[in-house]
Chains A and B, each alone.
Chain A
Amino acid sequence: MKSIFTLFLLISSVFAHPHTFIEVYPSIEVEKSKFSTIHFKWVLDEMTSTILIMELDSNANGKIDKKENDYIEKEYFSMFKPYSYYTYVKIDKKVVPFKPENFKATIENHRLCYSFDIYGNYGIKNTIFEFGDSDFYVAMVLKDEFVTIKGSSAKVSGVDNDFYYGYKLEFK
């Protein structure tokens, strides 16, 4: 019975599978064992970027202007809120809610990029950042070479979330 239930959970929860790939570039600064800067930059895959840029760069000048930026934040980026922006701040294994600040969309080498900051007086001890989409529509990709850290060091590893795959960033 459990296997049938698992099969159905699999089918219903991951009816979709990654169609969009987002590279995550974290830039993090640590001072006195606390985070002073938490900045994330997402770089969307070229195919998705091209399609979105056609719509979002409404004046087709090859860059995202202030008005376009506001529109993307309101109409597109905010859509990720129910999915916790595919980013989970975990302190002592508990998810801590956050609000992304300073959202900025840019176009770099035909790729659409979203950048944002997280403000939180978290200590690095027992804090983990996890990335992933539980609906499995988007695949978040994190590699060692994407990470920039000042004042500390961190380790990138995979996370088994049962029905989707994610990555985590742990501090030493």
Chain B
Amino acid sequence: MEFYAKFLQTLIQWQYQLNSFISTNIRSLNDENSLSTSFLILGIAFTYGLVHAIGPGHGKALVALYFTSNKSDYKKAFKMGYMIAIIHALSALIFTFGIFLILKTMFRKNFNEFSEMAMQISAVMIIGVGIYLIYEAFSGRKHKEKHLKKSSKSEVAVAFSAGIVPCPGVMTIVLFCVVLGQYTLGILSAIAMSIGMGLTISVAGILSIAFGRKTNGLLNKKAYILEMIGGFLVLSLGIILFIA
């Protein structure tokens, strides 16, 4: 685990520095330097999102498991990463502004409650996706082509399951901007950060497709077994998240 610990430490250090850099720059915004500083903040927010999503979470496992069990091309993984990122950004913005505008005070506590609720919804959706994948693998084991067409439907479900939980990191930036009266910058930062996260999630999907292509060569005729295992893993992930 030594390598993993070093990896975590590096990720934490980067995020610690990026977090501090963003907050200092947002606070230092004034009329004279607003444009260049705003672009700098958005660039840093993108990098922050990219690094932030390398850490555990953000649906990478779900995307990876999904693509291991479903034959797809890299384009689809890229699309999936960005679908999750868009839903992630929208969910963070809606949650943040909704809670901020409606409740204004005590939002921190409500934020935690809403966050938990979103996590539960996400877990139930992941369980649903798992069951769907198992069903598809089972029913499509003799009709591969039909199966391939059907599985594209579940991609939106996977993106929703992974993206609906708003990222507290994005919410923090948005709230920080809102408190300082920088509404537009808050929204743009959330988008920039989500684009960064989308790229990382896409890479997770692409890697698992590359892995799947190698293993599928070995299994070929029995590919549905791998698909079923993937479905069971997604289902187990949903159950674990629901219990946790």
Contacts and interface: CB of A to CB of B under 8 A. Distances in A.
Given A15-B56, A47-B176, A139 B16 contact: yes
B55 to A, nearest CB: 4
B9 interface: yes
B2 A19 contact: no
Interface residues of B, number: 40
Interface in B1-41: 1-2, 4-5, 8-9, 11-12, 15-16, 19-20, 22-24, 27
Secondary structure of the B contact surface, majority rule: helix
Contact of A8 (B4, B179, B240): B240
Contacts of B98: none
B57 A51 contact: no
A145 interface: no
A165 B8 contact: yes
A12 interface: yes
B179 A51 contact: yes
B175 A45 contact: no
A21 B16 contact: yes
Contacts of A149: none
B226 interface: no
A50 B57 contact: no
B24 A46 contact: yes
Given A11-B240, A15-B241, A160-B1, A50 B16 contact: no
Interface of A: 4, 7-8, 10-21, 45-48, 50-52, 54-55, 110, 136-137, 139, 141, 158, 160-162, 164-165
